[in-house]
Amino acid sequence: MPPETQYARVGDLNIGYQVVGDGPIDVTLVDQWFSNVVGQWHLPPLARFIDRLAEFSRVVLLDKRGTGVSDPVPLGGLPTLDEWMDDLRAVLDAAGSERTALLSGAGTSYLTILFAATYPERTSALILVDGYPRISAAPGYVPGLPAGLPPEDADRIRAGWGHGALLGILAPDDADDAALRRSYAEYESLSGSPEMAVAMIRMLYEGDVRDVLPAVRVPTLIVNHKRSARIPAAISAYMAEQIPGAKHVEIPGSANLIWAGDQEAVLAEVQEFLTGIRPHPEPDRVLATVLFSDIVESTRQAAEIGDTRWRHLLDAYRALVRREFERHRGREIDTTGDGFLATFDGPARAIRCAIAIRDGVGSLGLEVRGGLHTGEIELMGKNVGGIAVHIGARVAALAAPGEVLVSSTVKELVAGSGISFDDRGTHELKGVPDPWRVFAVRPPEGRA
């Protein structure tokens, strides 16, 4: 469950913050210039990133003034770095954090660099991921930078804010993920307005903390993505030369959002730097329950009601399915037409999700069928593979309209859950060795 949102006072302003985990070291994550400590839990990769940090630390999260759930700044004004440092210091005091490691992404490196240099007694370490001390061109600085925010970028951000504008700019490799783009669009909307976004980014182009770098006297880790989408990798090399004793690491990838792309590569460097222990790589095979679900006779229905109405109906159907995935902790793997593939970390949750989808789509005048199997799956980036996936697909193909079928493995794993089944016999599954026994999830008493 998301943690409780609390407030620290800075003069007359309320600054929202949260604390996650109870590890032996404090880590304050300042991801971007914008944030929303409530909305971040609806952005799955950012939520996962925070949860992973909390495995080895106590994580402090905050919305600086003018963003998220914190009090707004006066109309037409922008917060200064001094004011944002006041916000950060007040939150650390309220959270009982005497010293913290500062972990920042591309949009907040000015703040964390300045805070670490000004308050070394409050800063145990500084970690900059695709950070910069200056983003615009200057004599003797990194070549190839723009002199200011390009007008076409300002127009693009203003028009696309609340629609995932920055995702396409800072993490283009992830921008084609429709579900991620939707949740990121919501996060943008909850964090600030379009005009504030443009004004803040213009301010970032005007900032310069290069002279502060030699004054940073805390342990510093500088991480950059090798194929950086927006922030030239040469900037990280520059900072590593200017900050005494800084460690510089380059990792694969192009994302300039700290949680995007291969976030485990970032987290591994962070964890080793702070704890001295490098985490073991994520296993490439895990036990999971796969769910296949699709609409019954979708082609016939589309022909009957016409393309426009069918498209609107599909949008409502997909929104319903994704709500149930989120509610039951399912991970959407793929969607093709009206079919979905999702994985779950528990078979009972997967069954209840399938039933909720089946029952929910009735209000849309639709009928679905589903199939589930639990087994070892192969993790292939954002996709999954392996024989368990094939078995799940074959089981789903056997389901009648409105039916949820499961393999015998699933049935045995949910014993004692209160879920009942009807035997549907033993079947040969195409491309799968040996026959498999299949069961239908029995509707609750009183339901036909």
Enter the pTM of the model.
Answer: 0.67
Tokens describing residue 389: 């996936």
pLDDT value at position 433?
A: 78
Q: Which tokens is 283 given?
A: 């296993």
CA-to-CA distance for 19 and 6, rounded, in angstroms? 9
Tokens of 171: 């993490």
Judged by DSSP in three states, 297 sits in: coil
290, 358, 360 from 349: Cα distances, Å: 11, 14, 16
Residue whose C-alpha is closest to residue 70's, from 3, 5, 7, 15: 15
Query: Which pLDDT score, from 0 to 100, does residue 437 have?
Result: 95
Retrieve residue 84's tokens.
């944002």
The CB-side HSE value for 70 (13 A sphere, CA atoms) comes to 32
Residue 390 contacts by C-beta under 8 Å, 6 or more apart in sequence? 429, 431, 432
State the amino acid at position 438 in one-letter form: V
CA separation for the pair 57, 41 (Å, rounded): 18
Evaluate whether 356 touches 328 at the Cβ level (below 8 Å): yes
Find tokens 């972990």 and name the residue.
Answer: 103
The secondary structure element, H or E, covering residue 385 is: strand 383-385
> What CATH homologous superfamily does 285-441 map to?
Nucleotide cyclase, GGDEF domain (3.30.70.1230)
Q: What is the pLDDT of residue 361?
A: 94
Give the pLDDT confidence score for residue 132 in this predicted structure. Answer: 95
Question: Residue 445's pLDDT is what?
Answer: 58
DSSP structure string for 312-357: HHHHHHHHHHHHHHHHTT-EEEEEETTEEEEEES-HHHHHHHHHHH
Could you give the angle at which helices 44-53 and 178-191 cross, rounded to 10 degrees?
80
Relative to beta strand 100-104, strand 220-225 is unpaired
- pLDDT tens per residue, the chain (448 residues)? 689 999 999 999 999 999 999 999 999 999 999 999 999 999 989 999 999 999 999 999 999 999 999 999 876 678 899 999 999 999 999 999 999 999 999 889 999 999 999 999 999 999 999 999 999 999 989 987 888 888 998 999 999 999 988 898 899 888 888 888 899 999 999 998 898 889 889 999 999 999 999 999 999 999 999 999 889 999 999 999 999 999 999 999 999 999 998 899 999 999 999 999 888 765 578 899 999 999 999 888 888 889 899 999 999 999 999 999 999 999 999 887 789 999 999 999 999 999 999 999 999 999 999 999 999 998 877 788 889 999 999 999 999 999 999 999 999 999 988 999 999 999 998 878 789 999 999 976 544 4
Tokens representing residue 410 in the block: 């699933």
Cα separation, 364 vs 362, whole angstroms: 5
What architecture is domain 6-275? 3-Layer(aba) Sandwich (3.40)
CA 247 distance to own-chain centroid: 27
Report the pLDDT value the prediction gives residue 250, as an integer from 0 to 100: 96
Provide the residue count of the chain: 448
Q: Look at residue 165 in the predicted model and tell me its pLDDT.
A: 86
Cβ atoms of 66 and 73 within 8 Å: the answer is yes
Task: Kindly give the residue spans of alpha helices, DSSP state H, lying in 134-176.
Answer: 151-160, 165-170
10 sits in which H/E element: strand 6-10
**Residue intervals in the chain for CATH 3.40.50.1820:** 6-275
